[in-house]
Chains A and B, each alone.
Chain A
Amino acid sequence: AQSVSQHNHHVILSEAASLELGCNYSYGGTVNLFWYVQYPGQHLQLLLKYFSGDPLVKGIKGFEAEFIKSKFSFNLRKPSVQWSDTAEYFCAVFRGTDKLIFGTGTRLQVFP
Chain B
Amino acid sequence: SAVISQKPSRDICQRGTSLTIQCQVDSQVTMMFWYRQQPGQSLTLIATANQGSEATYESGFVIDKFPISRPNLTFSTLTVSNMSPEDSSIYLCSVLPSGTTQYGYTFGSGTRLTVV
User: Residues of A at under 8 Å CB distance from B?
Assistant: 32, 34, 36, 42-44, 46, 49, 51, 90, 92, 94, 98-105
Report the Cα distance A92→B105, complex, angstroms: 10
Q: Which residues of B sit under 8 angstroms from A51, Cβ to Cβ?
A: 101-102
Partner of A102, one of B43, B96, B102, B104: B43
From 73 to 112 in chain B, residues with beta carbon under 8 angstroms from any chain A beta carbon are: 92, 94, 96, 101-105, 107-110
Query: Given A43-B107, A100-B33: A32 and B101 within 8 A (CB)?
Result: yes
Number of A-B contacts (CB under 8 A): 44
- The A interface is mostly helix, strand or loop, or mixed, namely strand
Q: Is there a chain A Cβ closer than 8 Å to B53's Cβ? A: no
Say whether B45 contacts A101, CB under 8 Å.
yes
Q: Which residues of A sit under 8 angstroms from B48, Cβ to Cβ?
A: 98-99
Say whether A99 contacts B45, CB under 8 Å.
yes
Q: Which residues of A sit under 8 angstroms from B107, Cβ to Cβ?
A: 36, 43-44
Q: Which residues of B sit under 8 angstroms from A99, Cβ to Cβ?
A: 45, 48
Give min CB distance, B37 to chain A, whole Å.
9
Report the Cα distance A80→B41, complex, angstroms: 27
Say whether A105 contacts B101, CB under 8 Å.
no
Q: Is there a chain A Cβ closer than 8 Å to B115's Cβ? A: no
Report the Cα distance A36→B105, complex, angstroms: 10
Query: Given A98-B31, A100-B33: A43 and B109 within 8 A (CB)?
Result: yes
Q: Which residues of B sit under 8 angstroms from A104, Cβ to Cβ?
A: 41-42
Say whether B42 contacts A100, CB under 8 Å.
no
Report the Cα distance A44→B92, complex, angstroms: 10
